[in-house]
Amino acid sequence: MPLGILVADAAGQVFFRNQFAMLEQFDGQESVLLDNKVRDLIATALDGGSGEEMADFWGPPRRTFELRSLPVIVDGESAGATVVIEDVTERSRLNQVRRDFVANMSHELRTPVGAISVLAETLLTNNDPDVVARLSERLHRESFRLGNTIEDLLALSRLESGEDDQFDEVLVADIFADAKERAAQASVGHSIELTTEQAELGLTIYGDRSQLSAAVGNLVDNAAKYSEPGSRIELAARALGDSVELSVTDHGVGIPEGELERIFERFYRVDPARSRQTGGTGLGLSIVRHVVRNHRGDIHVESREGEGSTFTLRFPQG
Ligand code: ADP
């Protein structure tokens, strides 16, 4: 078991170690460090206290251990000490992810709030109608972006909790119709074409209609944001074994190969200025990835810089 247990007698001599606490899986330096910590913890416990220490090894792979000690008391007398070594690598990685997320989110919210505050202050002291019109327009844009970020954060948290999931058989035709409607505003000036036969529109996916529509809608939104107005966006569906594949293709700026892994991370943008200009929140693809996970599906991207991208979602057939 990934839990080390050591027991020492009243003189501080360790007389029992389980397999994990043999420290064989650690290299020389690591086991010396752990041994020192164990000795300190035993001393604390023999004094009647309970101790706690962390040990962080950078690896690779990085590993984190928590060591805790407790005194063993027999008939009111200190009779020895126990030390427990626990591998808390995954727990501390998750804590780090959470801390990073809160820091990123605070930054993302602070930027538009700061801009709104400065714009409002300037408006208070300016009467020039041209300036007022320009500042009001920017004020509107920043508050719209702030609203979108909050909406996306709420959507992510709903997806994570899984509370609102309503699974049923959903028609591909309905998903495409919803997605086109959702993305209507961003995709003004683009031609969205269904490059799919009628039969494929009749396929079904077992899933939550609003989540599936939101995922495809986000992809259509992006296809529009990262391509020239007037260019074509293609929606396609096909059956593949027990699965249904939905794809959204654009002929826009494309994504550099080295960035393909990272674009699904929260708040990650290849070109932050362009994302900001188009009102992007940096959360669209995280939402898509969550929906795909909730449906036990997968996602695949093919992209060439300057030529365009195809995002393909694969789901179990309904
Ligand atoms: P954003 O709100 O910034 O669009 P997303 O999570 O939807 O956030 O996407 C993350 C990043 O991935 C975008 O900022 C953009 O750089 C890149 N990206 C997403 N979709 C496309 C696409 N169809 N074409 C080119 N780049 C894209």
How far, CA to CA in Å, does 253 sit from each of 31, 250, 285?
52, 9, 17
Q: Is the CB of 270 under 6 A from ligand 1?
A: yes
Q: Is the CB of 224 under 6 A from ligand 1?
A: no
Amino acid at 94: L
Quote the radius of gyration of the chain (alpha carbons, Å).
Answer: 28
Distance of CA 61 to the CA centre of its chain: 21
Whole-angstrom distance, CA of residue 252 vs CA of residue 24: 54
Whole-angstrom distance, CA of residue 251 vs CA of residue 294: 29
Q: Is the CB of 152 under 6 A from ligand 1?
A: no
222, 286, 292, 313, best to mutate for ligand 1 pocket (most atoms within 8 Å of CB): 222
How far, CA to CA in Å, does 242 sit from each of 13, 123, 157, 204, 297?
62, 59, 30, 11, 11
pLDDT of residue 1: 64
Closest C-alpha residue for ligand 1 atom 13: 269
Q: How far is the CA of 236 from the centre of ligand 1 (A)?
A: 20
Q: Is the CB of 227 under 6 A from ligand 1?
A: no
Whole-angstrom distance, CA of residue 22 vs CA of residue 19: 5
DSSP string, 208-227: EHHHHHHHHHHHHHHHHHTS
| Ramachandran sector of residue 85 (left: φ over 0; alpha: ψ -120 to 50; beta: rest) | beta
175-213 burial, b at 16+ Cβ within 10 Å, e below that, comes to bbebbbebbeebbeebebebebeeebbebbbebbbbbbb
Q: Is the CB of 255 under 6 A from ligand 1?
A: yes
Q: How far is the CA of 128 from the centre of ligand 1 (A)?
A: 37
pTM: 0.79
Q: Is the CB of 259 under 6 A from ligand 1?
A: no
Q: How far is the CA of 173 from the centre of ligand 1 (A)?
A: 25
Q: Is the CB of 8 under 6 A from ligand 1?
A: no
Q: How far is the CA of 96 from the centre of ligand 1 (A)?
A: 25
pLDDT digit string (tens) for the chain, length 318 residues: 678 999 999 999 999 999 888 877 778 888 889 999 999 999 999 998 889 999 998 878 888 999 999 999 888 888 899 999 999 999 999 999 899 999 999 999 998 999 999 999 999 999 899 999 999 999 999 998 899 999 999 999 999 888 888 999 999 999 999 998 887 777 777 788 878 777 788 999 999 999 999 999 999 999 999 999 889 999 999 999 999 999 999 999 999 999 999 999 999 999 988 887 787 899 999 999 999 999 999 999 999 999 999 999 999 987
**Tokens representing residue 112 in the block:** 């538009």
Query: Which residues are within 8 A (CB) of 134 and not within 5 positions of it... i.e. 6 or more apart?
Result: none
Closest C-alpha residue for ligand 1 atom 12: 263
**Tokens representing residue 73 in the block:** 């008391």
Q: Is the CB of 158 under 6 A from ligand 1?
A: no
The three-state secondary structure class of 253 is coil
